Amino acid sequence: ARRIGFPLLVRPSYVLGGRGMVIAYDEQYLETYMAEATRISPDHPVLLDRFLEGAIEVDVDAVCDGETVFVGGVMEHIEEAGIHSGDSACCIPPFTLSLDVVGRIREHSRALALRLGVRGLMNVQFAVKDDQVYVLEVNPRASRTVPFVSKATGVPLAKVAARVMAGEKLAAMGLPDDEVEPTRFCVKEAVMPFGRFPGADSVLGPEMKSTGEVMGVAGDFPAAYAKSQLAIDYSLPTSGVAFVSVCDRDKRQVASIAKHLQILGFEIMSTRGTARTLRAAGIPVTEVMKKHEGRPNVIDEMANGRVQLVINTPFGQETRSDGYHIRSAAIRHGITNITTLPAAAAIVRAIEAIKEDRLGACVLQDFDSDAPGVEGLSLSQI
């Protein structure tokens, strides 16, 4: 662990859904985790990987016939790498990555598929940091994102893969150019069950917590993301009080989000440390006490209906901290609760799209038109 360096992604071997996986920021927590991991997977080793903090995660679904590779979709995750891919929202086409980075991701995906001799579907997970592309894992199988990619692009990847496995070649199927991105933005969002489990912490991590998925489609990313949140029945307030309290490592980035909220008409409420950071950036803020500091505190403000939006990011492995009580209270009172800065930035842009009335309807039956001439592969027929 000392040789690799902290933070570390730590996981027991031979588990599914990220069960037992954590991000360890120091030796003390790693020692505590190791004792627990032996109970989850006593007969198998614990794997240690360097964790790329602040990296963008990317999913790719592709089909290979041994000679040709069709890249079905390149999905940029909203949450940073380290959040389980089943819990992270993602978007087709990528909304922040450069064309050069996306092109390299496509090239790497094709090279991996051919080198591994894949016949059928393949999923690759990448991480991008400082324009450097890293391979996280390669899975020669269908991924949970295949239905989403098929819906977003109009190409039924499962049917394509089945025909490949039966001996057909991709070149004979009349597939569209996989270098051309969809003309609309499609966002897949995870459905979380926190409201049904009192006391559960809504912080996302490498262990999967979601129980379903929804999809939002629009002409731009903010509107598509807004639709995905509304599809889960999340309340996206367009005015009121936004409570913002973030960990120290996020303080440098939170000012732009709070400023955007202020421009949209929100009043900003924060605890002492975050309030100091926002005031230094010239943002008016109402200071409120944490639970352990006395009353009235932020929990009281939420109970009294004063808070419409909560942005609270945790640090490390503190589970019964003030942040935990804040997030639990938000769930209890039905307040939209964001636990990562990338998701907070996306939510703010989504609120702006709602205020500007940019959430028009998209006709699903038109999706097949993106893949004309795909013989026998109409999405509406599967």
pLDDT band at 372 (very low <50, low <70, confident <90, very high): very low
Please tell me the distance from the alpha carbon of residue 120 to that of residue 140, in angstroms, as a whole number: 8
Residue 110 lies in a domain: yes
* Residue 128 in this model has a pLDDT that exceeds 60: yes
Residue 379 lies in a domain: no
CATH code: domain of residue 312: 3.40.50.1380
**pLDDT single digits (tens) 297-342:** 999 999 999 999 999 998 655 544 777 888 888 888 889 999 899 9
Residue 42 has phi, psi (to 5 degrees) of: -65, -25
Q: Which of 144, 162, 185 is the last residue of a domain?
A: 185
- Shared domain check, 63 and 171: yes
Please tell me the distance from the alpha carbon of residue 166 to that of residue 300, in angstroms, as a whole number: 62
- Shared domain check, 16 and 96: no
Domain count of the chain? 3
What is the per-residue pLDDT for 42?
Answer: 63
Please tell me the distance from the alpha carbon of residue 372 to that of residue 174, in angstroms, as a whole number: 9
* Residue 93 in this model has a pLDDT that exceeds 70: yes
Please tell me the distance from the alpha carbon of residue 262 to that of residue 283, in angstroms, as a whole number: 8
**pLDDT single digits (tens) 147-194:** 999 999 989 999 999 999 999 999 999 999 988 888 899 999 998 877
Please tell me the distance from the alpha carbon of residue 334 to that of residue 233, in angstroms, as a whole number: 10
Range 134-155 average pLDDT: 93
Residue 209 lies in a domain: no
- Shared domain check, 60 and 154: yes
CATH code: domain of residue 32: 3.30.1490.20
Which of 215-219, 245-249, 322-326, 349-353 is least confident?
A: 322-326
* Residue 275 in this model has a pLDDT that exceeds 50: yes
- Shared domain check, 170 and 67: yes
Range 200-210 average pLDDT: 76
Alpha-carbon dihedral sign for residues 73, 76, 77, 81: positive
Residue 170 burial (C-beta neighbours within 10 Å; 0-12, 13-18, 19+): buried
Please tell me the distance from the alpha carbon of residue 46 to that of residue 324, in angstroms, as a whole number: 28
Contact 271, 287 (CB under 8 A): yes
pLDDT band at 39 (very low <50, low <70, confident <90, very high): low
What is the per-residue pLDDT for 300?
Answer: 95
* Residue 355 in this model has a pLDDT that exceeds 60: yes
Residue 252 lies in a domain: yes
Residue 170 lies in a domain: yes
Residue 360 lies in a domain: no
CA dihedral 295, 297, 299, 303 (to 10 degrees): 70
Average confidence score pLDDT of the chain: 86
* Residue 377 in this model has a pLDDT that exceeds 80: no
Hey, which residues does 337 pair with through a beta bridge?
Answer: 310
- Shared domain check, 168 and 90: yes
- Shared domain check, 98 and 178: yes
CATH code: domain of residue 61: 3.30.470.20
Contact 338, 347 (CB under 8 A): yes
Residue 214 lies in a domain: no
Range 62-78 average pLDDT: 96
What is the per-residue pLDDT for 37?
Answer: 63
- Shared domain check, 112 and 93: yes
Q: Which of 185, 216, 247 is the last residue of a domain?
A: 185
What is the per-residue pLDDT for 227?
Answer: 96
**Distance set, CA 151 to CA 46, 60, 154, 217, 377 (Å):** 37, 15, 6, 10, 13
Tokens representing residue 54 in the block: 């602040």
Distant-in-sequence, close-in-space partners of 299: CB < 8 Å, separation ≥ 6 = 291, 325, 326, 329
pTM as predicted: 0.85
* Residue 23 in this model has a pLDDT that exceeds 80: no
- Shared domain check, 244 and 179: no
For 71, the domain range is: 56-185
- Shared domain check, 152 and 132: yes
- Shared domain check, 80 and 31: no
* Residue 240 in this model has a pLDDT that exceeds 90: yes
- Shared domain check, 95 and 36: no
Contact 332, 198 (CB under 8 A): yes
- Shared domain check, 167 and 109: yes
Which of 51-55, 111-115, 261-265, 288-292 is least confident?
A: 51-55
Residue 290 lies in a domain: yes
